[in-house]
Structure 1
Amino acid sequence: MDVLSDTITAIRTGAPTCGVFIRHAPWGRDYPVVPGTGFHVVLAGSCWLVPPSGAPIALGAGDVILMPRGSGHVLVDSLDSAVTEQAHLGEPRELSGPGVRSELMCGAYALGRQRSHRLLDELPDFVHIPVRPGADPGLRGLVDVLAMELARPRAGTDAAVPALLETLLLFALRAWFEKQAPARTGWAGAFADPGVLAALRAIHDAPERAWTVPELSAVAGVSRATLTRRFAATVGEPPLSYLTRWRMLTAARLLRDTDTPLAGVARKVGYQSEFAFAKAFKREYGLAPGQYRRGDDGESVVAV
């Protein structure tokens, strides 16, 4: 897989959850913190997202907004409206009222509590992707298909919606990183730098390989000094430090999502010795691989 898809697959756990609500102005809803990446998609109408601090964010039909760290917030149809609801499971899908109708899809992507990655860590608390006609045809089309499936469920909808939600996360992040790319900083800069991206792909494709900086610089087509400087400036750490981090993240996913024996997991991430692997894993996660596999870290799937 490409680096973005591979990274999201490594840190995700479980299936995304979502619900649709319809309200007529005036309305206001409080959203608590969730242990994952929350999201809203405005299917019809408009509203405002009011963060705990900072300026309110205007959301229009088709807009997508992500909360990478599940930050709490408020949604209101107007900045003058009172907050009268607490978002929760089992609430009425639609409440009638005298004002303008708004329809939103809200939910969350579950993340492994210890499977952190700088790609998400460096994002702002609220990632707003306006989906205007012509701005991002792929994302706009995806939102339209999601709205259609939710409005008129048919055979296959139960399978289609989770798959569409998985794609929504990737499309939204891609749109954000492409928008930020001109600054050439952080992971947006990494995706925009052909040399850094080539080195990242090599690491992701073969984490078991004993990569050296000269080998990665040859893949990247730049000098060792140039790769090291650009890699650290965008990814946030030197190439070999990232290699170790990616190995541990890959190992965590294999431990949780597969039945591969510990020795097999060790080999898949570049360790011939199970002891050496266990030592490196515990240094990263604070747990032995067997404890992590049993779920002693309390990692769970978020429900929204």
Structure 2
Amino acid sequence: MDPLEDVLTLLETRSYLSVGVVAGGRWALRFDAPNVVKFNAVRRGACLLQVDGVDEPIELAEGDCYLLTRRRAFTLRSDLDAVPVDAGPVFANAEGGLARVGEGDDVFFIGGGFSFGTRAQELLLDRLPPVVHVPAATRHAETVRWALTSIDRELAHRPMASTLVAEHLAVVMLIHVLRLHLTREPHAVSGWLAGLADPVIAAALTSLHRDPAHSWTVAELANAAAVSRSTLAARFKATVGQGPLEYLTRWRIELAARQLREGRETLASIAHSVGYGSESALSVAFKRVIGMPPGDYRRHPIPDSRHN
């Protein structure tokens, strides 16, 4: 598995879809801060997105989509002068899977959200900007359009298991959006995500994720990335924010934490599976990274209250 796939799997990424929205004329919908990573996609027409804490409104054209990675209230609107109404009652009055606002149907968008398990904020969401906007005109954005068109088709025609298929397609869309964002704006992300945009660091990260239990050395990772040890160490630290072996330690602890949450394996077995020779070695590293011994964590996992 590669690092992005590993993290999304570790975080138990799930999606849900909300009703579609049809809008026309002068309109504005105000949304409370979502408890999930919110997404919307404009399938027809155009509108503006305003997010609390983001200085400028974002123009959304037909085919555009966006992710909100923070719990912030936001407004979708026809223009800056339109008076917003609360989205809650509008969605509560939806009929036939569609909510309506304003007069007419010149704008249509679909939306939903992504939920993640414990540790999502630190591992993924804090690495992204508050808003990830993918314009339809972006190079290679056809992969996102394909996913969105397929979701539309499932929701419009409702074949068997359409909701399940559409939700899985939304996760596919999320992966494509993250890929495109890394390609378009590599400097807008941080940590391991930023490393994926650097071919040298990406090679080292892929090696670490392919076999995290291996006793990696910087020399081995540098060989995998076809650079010198000093080059890899300096580039990794500057981009990811920590050295490659420190990153390996933290990733091993994340894997151990997942096994502890699942509650099936012994501590000795977990230690061996993530590259530690003894329970005590794992316990020392676990407490340093997580802040508590693994036994305490197993009984009381630390929740990520912002996105779980």
- In the superposition, the TM-score normalised over structure 1's length comes to 0.87
What's the counterpart of residue 74 of structure 1? 75
Cα distance in 2 for partners of 1:248, 1:161 equals: 33
Contact 1:198 1:220 in 2 (8 A): yes
2:163 to 145, 148, 158: 158
Cα distance in 1 for partners of 2:130, 2:70 equals: 6
Q: Deviations over 1:140-176 (max 9, x none)?
A: 1111111111222111312211211111111000001
Distance of aligned partners of 1:161 and 1:301 in 2 relative to their CA distance in 1, 3 Å threshold:
farther
What's the counterpart of residue 252 of structure 2? 247
2:109 to 80, 104, 109: 104
Alignment partner of 1:202 is 2:219:
no
What's the counterpart of residue 54 of structure 1? 55
Cα distance in 1 for partners of 2:140, 2:204 equals: 30
Contact 2:128 2:189 in 1 (8 A): no
Using the TM superposition, give the Cα deviation of residue 180 of structure 1 relative to its aligned residue in structure 2, in angstroms.
Answer: 2.2
Cα distance in 1 for partners of 2:291, 2:188 equals: 36
SS in 2 for 1:66: strand
Alignment partner of 1:263 is 2:262:
no
Distance of aligned partners of 1:86 and 1:302 in 2 relative to their CA distance in 1, 3 Å threshold:
farther
Instruction: Read off the aligned partner of 2:16 and give its amino acid letter.
Output: T
What's the counterpart of residue 286 of structure 1? 291
Distance of aligned partners of 1:95 and 1:34 in 2 relative to their CA distance in 1, 3 Å threshold:
closer
SS in 2 for 1:49: strand
Using the TM superposition, give the Cα deviation of residue 105 of structure 1 relative to its aligned residue in structure 2, in angstroms.
Answer: 2.4
Contact 1:68 1:125 in 2 (8 A): yes
What's the counterpart of residue 42 of structure 1? 42
Contact 1:35 1:111 in 2 (8 A): no
Contact 2:182 2:189 in 1 (8 A): no
SS in 1 for 2:103: coil
Name stretches of at least 5 consecutive residues in structure 1 with no aligned partner. none
Cα distance in 2 for partners of 1:126, 1:279 equals: 37
Counterpart mapping for 1:125-204 below 5 A: 125-132=130-137, 135-181=140-186, 190-204=195-209
Instruction: Read off the aligned partner of 1:173 and give its amino acid letter.
Output: L
SS in 2 for 1:275: helix
Contact 1:180 1:188 in 2 (8 A): no
Alignment partner of 1:220 is 2:225:
yes
Using the TM superposition, give the Cα deviation of residue 85 of structure 1 relative to its aligned residue in structure 2, in angstroms.
Answer: 1.4
Q: Deviations over 1:217-252 (max 9, x none)?
A: 122211110001111122221111111111122222
Contact 2:45 2:107 in 1 (8 A): yes
Cα distance in 1 for partners of 2:189, 2:34 equals: 31
Which deviates the most, 42-51 or 288-297? Answer: 288-297
Using the TM superposition, give the Cα deviation of residue 50 of structure 1 relative to its aligned residue in structure 2, in angstroms.
Answer: 0.5
Cα distance in 1 for partners of 2:210, 2:288 equals: 24
RMSD over aligned CA atoms reads: 2.8
Contact 1:50 1:73 in 2 (8 A): yes
Using the TM superposition, give the Cα deviation of residue 91 of structure 1 relative to its aligned residue in structure 2, in angstroms.
Answer: 5.2
What's the counterpart of residue 32 of structure 1? 32
Q: Deviations over 1:255-303 (max 9, x none)?
A: 3357333322222211222233233223322343344344542457969
Instruction: Read off the aligned partner of 1:297 and give its amino acid letter.
Output: I
Distance of aligned partners of 1:257 and 1:72 in 2 relative to their CA distance in 1, 3 Å threshold:
farther
Distance of aligned partners of 1:292 and 1:61 in 2 relative to their CA distance in 1, 3 Å threshold:
farther
Cα distance in 2 for partners of 1:184, 1:256 equals: 28
Instruction: Read off the aligned partner of 1:9 and give its amino acid letter.
Output: T
Counterpart mapping for 1:226-245 below 5 A: 226-245=231-250
Name stretches of at least 5 consecutive residues in structure 2 with no aligned partner. none
Cα distance in 2 for partners of 1:223, 1:107 equals: 45
Cα distance in 1 for partners of 2:279, 2:93 equals: 49
Instruction: Read off the aligned partner of 1:286 and give its amino acid letter.
Output: G
What's the counterpart of residue 65 of structure 1? 66
Instruction: Read off the aligned partner of 1:38 and give its amino acid letter.
Output: K
SS in 2 for 1:79: coil
Distance of aligned partners of 1:194 and 1:97 in 2 relative to their CA distance in 1, 3 Å threshold:
closer
Distance of aligned partners of 1:87 and 1:14 in 2 relative to their CA distance in 1, 3 Å threshold:
farther
